[in-house]
Chains A and B, each alone.
Chain A
């Protein structure tokens, strides 16, 4: 027990960050699951974080309500942005969402209510470690169950072949927008949790590099299953501490190791680290079992 308390005293904030990053990675996973490459997750987290922070700090709104408000506002912005930009595909969508992220960051930087470059200071610390992991468990479970519901099959079909999905009766515009909005809401929720974890948040924490980090979590972990992004987030968030344990503390080397891991995963495990654990399933003998499985 003492050892655990000591562990938390040293690594408590790291454990919290891992949880938040895992939820953020899952928010991007929701959008990627429908085949939409978005770089806007960090901006949505920012919208959620600032909204919730301002609400609890300046208006005295209860913490839980601020979480809801943060996710909802993020979702509404996601809907407004998603409707026009989801007409774009692939890298064009990525660029459009990237531009959106910059617009959000610069807006936050120049508003008075958000505290500008100094950030929003004095947010009450309501987020607890158990709260983060409870949220992560609920979100992870929900996404895992969603995979085999109609919603999950629609996302999967659209990712594999949008035209074919259409001819099977799937309203691709609706489901793509839904994936985008759900992702935005979850990112907003994670951002709201994050805001109440620290005393302050600054625009920089929701910038481009965070959006790319989230994408890297997904790629390294694997986007074929919900636990891929979680695995990626856990590994890469803990990496600096692990490296410090092995005696490497310098910042630039950490980035190099990050890049090396990404490179190795892309080269040798194109479906991410989870492909180590998953069977490829090309065995005819398993056909009969497939009928009752995964219900």
Chain B
């Protein structure tokens, strides 16, 4: 068990964004986190990465409690993340963004640089090669010299992933990694996530693009109104009546149109089309 969330609650004033959420992520799995807007997914990621503190409950990373640690120490233990609203360093170039992300793995000491030692030059060259490799991994190495703010939306998302990868994390938290991307880009990012998982990286991802989540994740947790609805494999989740209800609500029309097996995401189902149109994806 790499990550374990136990009964986490987070209240903003009277609103309980998270209400007793429990969740566990195994080593090496791609774990999906889905739920309607306002279900508390991003709040959960923020709690996990210590951007905000939980009101109550515990988070264990590597079987050690981490919910009281500051964010940078959590990163030092091997957790990296991206943001739903993309937080790059806009005035830096792409390469510089990734270099900044190397903080934990590249010491870059001051004094060898001050005296222009050849060892510093060699080291720097190697770090820059690694940074370029991170950019190449997400497929934007051609944009290395571009300022981050000059990138397209999809490229920014990928740059943020490259920056997260630069610290060689064991757990990667992705908050809507393919939001606003074209179908081809979505496939590329899907392939990237799959290959990262094959290398042993554990990934927890939030995404609204259902075919993406269903095709990629080995297990999925569904949140609704700050509570865990169900954790299971894609098959179980997509057939779960409460999940369907949480996403679409229950109306006579859809109840009638729902296929007899109750599947929400099977081909040709009316609910599926409704769902996609709602999200504006693909």
Contacts and interface: CB of A to CB of B under 8 A. Distances in A.
7 residue pairs, one from A and one from B, having the closest CB atoms:
A160-B89, A169-B75, A295-B124, A150-B108, A164-B87, A166-B71, A169-B104
Contacts of A141: 114
A287 B142 contact: yes
Interface of A: 141-142, 145-146, 148-151, 153-154, 156-157, 160-161, 163-172, 224, 280-284, 286-287, 290-292, 295
Nearest to A291: B128
16 contacts: A142-B114, A146-B110, A156-B89, A161-B89, A163-B87, A164-B89, A167-B49, A167-B51, A167-B72, A168-B72, A168-B100, A224-B91, A284-B143, A287-B95, A287-B141, A287-B144
Contact of B142 (A156, A284, A295): A284
A146 B108 CA distance: 10
Interface in B91-115: 91-93, 95-96, 99-104, 106-110, 113-114
B80 interface: yes
A153 B110 contact: no
Contacts of B49: 167
Contacts of A146: 110, 113-114
B89 A167 contact: no
Contacts, number: 122
Given A149-B108, A151-B110, A166-B71, A295 B147 contact: no
Contacts of A286: 145
Interface of A is mostly: helix
A163 B143 CA distance: 24
A225 to B, nearest CB: 12
A151 B145 CA distance: 22
A290 B131 CA distance: 11
A34 to B, nearest CB: 13
A281 to B, nearest CB: 5
B167 interface: yes
Contacts of B96: 156
B87 A166 contact: no
B282 to A, nearest CB: 29
B80 to A, nearest CB: 7
A168 B70 contact: no
Nearest to A169: B75
Interface string B66-97: 00001110011000110100011111110110
Nearest to B104: A169
B128 A153 contact: no
Listed residue (A153, A164, A170, A292) with the most chain B CB atoms within 10 angstroms of its CB: A164
Listed residue (A166, A281, A292) with the most chain B CB atoms within 10 angstroms of its CB: A166
B147 A149 contact: no
B103 A148 contact: no
B89 A157 contact: yes
Nearest to A151: B110
Contacts of A165: 100
Given A167-B80, A282-B150, A148 B108 contact: yes
A168 B104 contact: yes
Contacts of B163: 168
B125 interface: yes
Nearest to B128: A291
A149 B80 contact: no
A170 B99 CA distance: 13
B72 A166 contact: yes
B103 A150 contact: yes
